[in-house]
């Protein structure tokens, strides 16, 4: 290799070294991890509960025929408004008609026979004992005739009061027994909301508890109707394991119609001795619970807390937190002490 070539290589190496020394090293960019956070609110209220229910009448009557027979006509449908005395259903009246005809014939015969005995007694042809026996027989026949007339009237089922037909339980062509329910009538008057209370919330409710009732058809902005818990079952439903309850409306409006869906809210004034935070904000370290506190520079630190109670809507903290502090509300097991986060506002802890 000649001298000129060596000189050229040396110059190139020297220039490369000088260029490399002129560059400054760029520090790695620290990426802040996004994390959901929430501001701890004031003393947590043991918030009320909301239940869905249906508008029902306070009293509902099961209507049935007083005699058995075959239904030949149903005159009303479910939801129909009826008045007292209105015909609702009819039975086949063939048999009761024959019985009525026979009883009426026996009655007419007894009337004529008794009249004749009275005339004979007045003339002294029959004794008083014979007349008394005939009079007793006449009363028995008259009672049988009256019963037959009633039985004939019972073939038509009539409303005993004004109201709304809540349900039809039998159809034309069906043979029913005496007293078997065929219609359910909801009389005019008080209206209630039928709801079901879960076993876990039974202890929070007492008879007479104030309720706020919102109709689904009224919209979210409508003012709630006032109500009170009137009835609470003492035995759970064997299938749903819930307790049936009735909430009566203090002043039912004209817009309240049977069968409407309603939401019943029971507010609570009970206060908890602590702060309410989401369950997902708790970082468990063995037996010690802790939360990630977010500082002003978005750095985080782990702080032990004391949990007073666990609820469906969160955990009640009795110590270790101050109202107004910001904590990480989700993804707490992916964080490290001193790490900086990009705080994303979550829903309120209350």
Residue predicted with more confidence, 260 or 312: 260
- Dihedral of CA atoms 213, 218, 220, 222 in degrees, nearest 10, equals -70
| pLDDT above 60 (res 5) | no
Where b means 16+ CB within 10 Å and e means fewer, 3-20 reads eeeeeeeeeeeeeeeeee
Read off the tokens for 38: 């929430």
Beta strands 341-345; 33-39: pairing state = parallel
Distance (Å, whole) CA 211 – CA 77: 33
Question: From its phi and psi, is residue 5 left (phi > 0), alpha (psi between -120 and 50) or beta?
Answer: alpha
Of 295, 317, 299, 298, nearest to 308 (Cα)? 317
Which residues make Cβ contacts (< 8 Å) with residue 204, sequence separation at least 6?
46, 49, 266, 268
| pLDDT above 50 (res 26) | no
| pLDDT above 70 (res 3) | no
**What pLDDT does residue 42 have?**
53
pTM over the 0.85 mark: no
Mean residue pLDDT of the chain comes to 82
**What pLDDT does residue 270 have?**
57
| pLDDT above 60 (res 271) | no
- 95-146 confidence digits (pLDDT tens): 787 888 888 888 898 899 889 888 888 888 888 998 889 889 889 988 988 8
Domains and CATH numbers, the chain: 34-45+271-345 (2.40.420.20), 49-58+188-266 (2.40.30.170), 93-154 (1.10.287.470)
**What pLDDT does residue 303 have?**
92
| pLDDT above 80 (res 21) | no
| pLDDT above 50 (res 349) | no
% of the chain exceeding 70 in pLDDT: 84
Give Cα 6 to chain centroid, integer Å.
96
């Amino acid at each position: 290799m000649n001298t000129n070539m060596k000189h050229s290589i040396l110059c190139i190496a020297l220039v490369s070294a000088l260029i490399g020394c002129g560059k400054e090293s760029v520090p790695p960019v620290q990426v802040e991890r996004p994390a959901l956070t929430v501001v701890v609110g004031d003393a947590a209220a043991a918030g009320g509960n909301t239940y869905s229910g249906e508008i029902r009448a306070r009293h509902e009557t099961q209507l049935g025929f007083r005699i058995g027979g075959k239904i030949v006509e149903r005159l009303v449908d479910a939801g129909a408004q009826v008045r007292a005395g209105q015909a609702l259903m009819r039975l086949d009246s063939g048999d009761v008609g024959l019985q009525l005809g026979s009883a009426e014939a026996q009655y007419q015969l007894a009337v004529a026979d008794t009249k004749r005995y009275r005339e004979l007694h007045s003339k002294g042809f029959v004794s008083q004992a014979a007349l008394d026996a005939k009079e007793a027989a006449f009363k028995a026949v008259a009672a049988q005739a009256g019963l037959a007339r009633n039985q004939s009237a019972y073939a038509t089922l009539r409303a005993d009061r004004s109201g709304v037909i809540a349900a039809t339980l039998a159809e034309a062509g069906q043979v029913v027994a005496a007293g078997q329910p065929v219609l359910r009538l909801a009389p005019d008057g008080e209206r209630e909301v039928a709801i079901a209370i879960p076993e876990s919330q039974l202890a929070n409710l007492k008879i007479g508890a104030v309720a706020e009732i919102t109709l689904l058809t009224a919209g979210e902005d409508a003012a709630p109707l006032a109500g009170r818990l009137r009835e609470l079952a003492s035995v759970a439903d064997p299938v749903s394991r819930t307790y049936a309850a009735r909430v009566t409306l203090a002043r039912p409006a004209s817009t309240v119609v049977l069968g409407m869906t309603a939401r019943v809210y029971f507010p609570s004034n009970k206060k908890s001795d602590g702060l309410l935070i989401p369950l997902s904000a708790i970082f468990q370290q063995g037996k010690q619970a802790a939360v990630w506190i977010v500082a002003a520079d978005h750095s985080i630190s782990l702080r032990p807390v004391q949990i007073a109670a666990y609820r469906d809507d969160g955990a009640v903290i009795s110590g270790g937190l101050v109202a107004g502090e910001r904590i990480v509300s989700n993804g707490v097991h992916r964080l490290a002490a001193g790490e900086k986060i990009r705080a994303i506002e979550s829903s309120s802890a209350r």
